[in-house]
């Protein structure tokens, strides 16, 4: 058998790499601009196929290569092509732009999701049940009620959300007392795994899913990891949808019972339509996350426009800088804005570095994230009597006594390299002998925040203190840890580290969480929030606005645990999460309310109203600061913090014509002047 099996295995070994090298077929998105309006869907598809017939040898092959034919508003298609075929197509006059979705990576902008290479920014799984967002913003109940009343709570407005799906049973999406579905609605409720048309109602009026691009790139969806349907396994889509439009729920209570009380989306009677475009993803290191393919997102936006949504909320971003003409969200949003649909998108979680923004197209509302005036305070008391501010929503608590305190880097197994990674409580790094019974200081950097707590628990530690790295600054991203634990700001982590290093018998106690309202100053910019300047068009200030995105509580998927870790079998109906993902639906909800009051305003007018009424001051009346305590500027927050109660009556709106095409001049001058005038206003304040 020896020779044969050797031969076979060498053939196999050779075969795979060769196959991989030969198989250079990739999905290309071919964007052709707008439809002329005189063709049926059938004729449009035939036209799209004719391009493929012209470059493929066989008709069958051409048909099989077509993933999507964009037929509604967007004219274009996505097809599997060889590079040579692609170059023939890209030379054709009608082709406005042509681009590949792979290997660019779009993902949900929660701070919890893994970065591609397992570097954090990372972790995050904040949460915060949405109390109505006006409450968070202004605390003025009268103003809020008056806005909601005027807008009839967003009654006939339809918000389309591109995300990871939705958990239809959540009480945030019940339809009790709601009127019939608006007549303008043309969408569907697409059936699939654990989801059928009965899961839609007068609240959740539409649901679809898109995964052709995903499956082409990553193979068939593994049904143990997600539902092949609009149902949300991850939790993120349920969270963003309920933030935008969740009904008022009176006893929303996440794990641990914090923040009990009424919870409501920003536009509680608006209708929701889910377009599921993000799917589970593992990188080579098997770090888990999600990915949203450009061709799938473009199909979703094309459908959303045709279905009749009024507002689109997209909590998805990318680290890659893409030209607008090669960016399927920018293209889709352009078509949406022409139909007076308002498009709110995440600025991205790639801060605090400069020029890290996603979704900077001028016709999009680019949303940054900031804190709210609520703390989940769980301080640390050191043996020397110093009390340090901390935050947590862990359901576990320690006895009110001092425990030995150690730095993770001092209690690692002998095999762990002695560098800064050693202090990060990475899986398998801690020595149970040295950790047992102690509180451990772990630094952020790589890996999931909750994963670090888990490692301390594995090694027998009784609790842990999660120290922000310098890049995390003062953001206290709270988590439902699996043991007693709290997170502290970067400078406080250094104080604790120095205390440990200078005391032989360092001790600490962790004070159980107490919810503190009306904390000041608020808002502060979140360190993770992506910053300007706008790498593509420096003349246009981006982001446009900031909204609550730190420790936001909203509905969650019951197929997922609050930490999203597989072995965590806890289930919650409401959960905290953080990210520009969470800020984006706040702005979408505010746009829905303005649209309800001013139905004839264009998308540009609504964007203007939201942006010009934003505030650059915090609740002390002082300039909004960054998480590091510096005065923030338009590269952090655009025009400032969302104030929906002012937006429906802004005094003045800058309208703008919709840009016609990408081909010659993508950026109309009027838009430029809007943005720069806003920026100037802030510089002078
Ligand atoms: C949808 O699924 C539910 C079970 O989840 C079932 O009770 C119901 O009859 C189904 N409805 C339709 C229209 O198939
Ligand atoms: C699907 O996912 C499960 C759980 O993550 C895993 O055990 C299984 O091997 C996967 N199946 C395939 C075909 O990859
Ligand atoms: C620490 O050392 C290990 C092993 O040499 C290496 O993989 C890791 O990147 C290092 N970490 C840092 C922060 O230098
Ligand atoms: C919106 O426009 C329609 C048609 O022009 C008009 O009938 C209606 O009064 C307008 N609504 C508002 C609130 O201005």
Percent of the chain with pLDDT over 70: 85
- Range from 172-181, 254-263, 355-364, 618-627 carrying the lowest mean pLDDT: 254-263
Q: pLDDT tens digit string along 489-528?
A: 999 999 999 999 999 999 999 999 988 888 889 999 999 9
Rounded CA Rg of the chain: 25
The response to whether residue 417 sits with its C-beta less than 6 Å from ligand 3 reads yes
CA-proximal residue: ligand 1, atom 7 (nearest): 198
Please check whether residue 480 is in contact with residue 450, taking contact to mean a CB–CB distance below 8 angstroms: yes
* Mean pLDDT value across the chain: 85
Query: Contact, 340 vs 188, CB < 8 A?
Result: no
Average pLDDT over residues 635-649: 91
Residue 20 has pLDDT above 90, yes or no: no
CB 545 within 8 A of CB 219: no
Instruction: Calculate what percentage of the chain has a pLDDT beyond 90.
Output: 67
CB of 419 shorter than 6 A to ligand 3 = yes
Q: Is the pLDDT of residue 678 over 70?
A: no
User: Which of 31-40, 81-90, 110-119, 548-557 bottoms out in mean pLDDT, i.e. has the lowest?
Assistant: 110-119
Ligand nearest to the CA of 151: 4
Least Cα distance to 617 among 631, 601, 605, 607 occurs for 631
Please tell me the number of the ligand nearest to residue 282's CA.
2
Q: Cα(31)–Cα(132) distance, rounded to whole angstroms?
A: 39
Tens of pLDDT, residues 69-89? 999 999 999 999 999 999 999
Distance of alpha carbon 161 from alpha carbon 607, whole angstroms: 18
Confidence of residue 648 (pLDDT cuts 50, 70, 90): confident
Q: Are 300 and 278 in contact (CB under 8 A)?
A: no
Task: List the residue whose alpha carbon is closest to atom 4 of ligand 3.
Answer: 417
Contact 270, 159 (CB under 8 A): yes
pLDDT in tens, 180-219: 999 999 999 999 999 999 999 999 999 999 999 999 999 9
Helix, strand, coil shares of the chain, percent, nearest 5, are 30, 20, 50
Q: What is the pLDDT of residue 655?
A: 82
Contact assessment for residue 456 and residue 479, using Cβ atoms and an 8 Å cutoff: no
pLDDT in tens, 383-416: 999 999 999 988 899 999 999 999 999 999 999 9
For residue 581, indicate whether it is catalytic. Answer: yes
Mean pLDDT of 223-239: 96
Average pLDDT estimate for 126-135: 32
| Catalytic residue list contains 649 | no
Q: Helix, strand or coil for residue 525?
A: strand
Catalytic residue among 236, 335, 481, 586: 236
Q: What CA–CA distance (Å, rounded) separates 681 from 103? A: 40
pLDDT band, very low/low/confident/very high, at 137 (cuts 50, 70, 90): very low
Residues having CB within 6 Å of any atom of ligand 1: 196-198
Ligand 2 atom 12: the closest Cα is on which residue? 222
pLDDT in tens, 425-477: 999 999 999 999 999 999 998 888 888 999 999 999 999 999 999 888 888 88
Q: What is the pLDDT of residue 259?
A: 62
DSSP-assigned states of every residue in 452-492 = HHHHHHHTT-SEEEEEPPGGGTT-------SSSEEEE-HHH
- How close is the Cα of 553 to the center of ligand 4, in Å? 37
Tokens of 74: 């967007």
For residue 222, give the ligand nearest its CA: 2
């Amino acid at each position: 058998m020896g020779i044969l099996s050797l031969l076979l295995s060498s053939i196999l070994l050779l075969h795979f790499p060769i196959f991989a090298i030969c198989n250079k077929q990739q999905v290309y998105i071919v964007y052709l601009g707008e439809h002329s309006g005189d063709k049926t869907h059938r004729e449009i598809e035939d036209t799209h196929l004719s391009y493929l017939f012209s470059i493929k040898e066989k008709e069958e092959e051409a048909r099989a290569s077509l993933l999507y034919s964009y037929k509604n508003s967007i004219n274009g298609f996505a097809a599997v092509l060889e590079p040579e075929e692609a170059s023939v197509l890209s030379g054709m006059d009608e082709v406005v732009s042509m681009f590949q979705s792979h290997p660019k990576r779009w993902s949900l902008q929660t701070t919890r999701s893994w970065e591609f290479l397992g570097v954090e920014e990372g972790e995050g799984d904040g949460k915060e049940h949405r109390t109505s967002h006006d409450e968070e913003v202004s605390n003025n109940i009268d103003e809020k009620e008056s806005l909601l009343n005027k807008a009839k709570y967003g009654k006939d407005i339809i918000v389309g959300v591109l995300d990871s799906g939705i958990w239809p049973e959540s009480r945030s999406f019940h339809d009790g007392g709601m009127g019939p579905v608006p007549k303008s609605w043309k969408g569907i409720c697409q059936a699939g795994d654990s989801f059928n048309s009965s899961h839609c109602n007068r609240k959740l009026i539409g649901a679809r899913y898109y995964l052709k691009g995903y499956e082409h790139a990553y193979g068939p969806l593994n049904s143990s990891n997600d539902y092949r349907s609009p149902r949300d396994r991850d939790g993120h889509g349920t969270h963003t949808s309920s933030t935008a439009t969740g009904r008022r729920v009176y006893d929303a209570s996440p794990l641990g019972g914090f923040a009990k009380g009424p919870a409501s989306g920003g536009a509680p009677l608006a209708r929701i339509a889910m377009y599921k475009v993000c799917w589970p993803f593992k990188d080579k290191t098997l770090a888990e996350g999600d990915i949203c393919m450009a061709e799938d997102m473009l199909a979703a936006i094309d459908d959303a426009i045709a279905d009749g949504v009024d507002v689109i909320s997209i909590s998805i971003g990318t680290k890659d800088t893409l030209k607008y003409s090669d960016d399927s969200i920018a293209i889709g949003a352009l078509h949406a804005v022409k139909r007076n649909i308002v498009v709110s998108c995440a600025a991205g979680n790639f801060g605090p570095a400069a020029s890290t923004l996603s979704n900077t197209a001028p016709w999009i509302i680019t949303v940054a994230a900031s804190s709210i005036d609520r703390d989940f305070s769980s301080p640390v008391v050191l043996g020397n009597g110093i009390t340090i501010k901390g935050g947590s929503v862990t359901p576990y608590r320690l006895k009110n006594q001092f425990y030995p305190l150690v730095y993770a880097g001092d209690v690692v197994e002998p095999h762990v390299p002695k560098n800064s990674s050693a202090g990060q409580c990475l899986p398998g790094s801690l020595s149970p002998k040295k950790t047992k019974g102690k509180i451990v200081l772990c630094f952020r950097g790589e890996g999931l925040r909750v994963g670090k707590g888990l490692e301390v628990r594995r090694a027998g530690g009784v609790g842990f203190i999660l120290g922000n790295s310098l890049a995390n600054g003062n953001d206290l991203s709270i988590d439902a840890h699996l043991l007693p634990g709290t997170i502290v700001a970067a400078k406080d982590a250094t104080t604790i580290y120095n205390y440990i290093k200078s005391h032989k018998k360092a001790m600490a106690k962790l004070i159980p969480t107490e919810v503190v309202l009306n904390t000041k100053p608020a808002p502060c910019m979140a360190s993770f929030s992506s910053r300007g300047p706008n790498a593509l068009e420096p003349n246009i200030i981006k982001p446009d606005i900031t909204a609550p995105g730190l420790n936001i509580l909203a509905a969650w998927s019951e197929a997922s645990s609050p930490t999203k870790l597989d072995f965590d079998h806890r289930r919650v109906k409401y959960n905290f999460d953080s990210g520009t993902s969470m800020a984006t639906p706040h702005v979408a909800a505010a746009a829905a309310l303005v649209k309800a009051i001013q139905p004839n305003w264009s998308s540009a007018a609504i964007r203007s109203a939201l942006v010009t009424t934003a505030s650059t001051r915090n609740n002390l009346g002082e300039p909004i600061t960054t998480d590091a305590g510096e005065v923030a500027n338009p590269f952090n927050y655009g025009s400032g913090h969302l104030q929906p109660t002012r937006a429906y009556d802004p005094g003045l709106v800058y309208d703008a014509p919709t840009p016609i095409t990408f081909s010659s001049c993508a950026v109309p001058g009027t838009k430029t002047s809007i943005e720069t005038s806003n920026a100037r206003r802030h510089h002078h304040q």
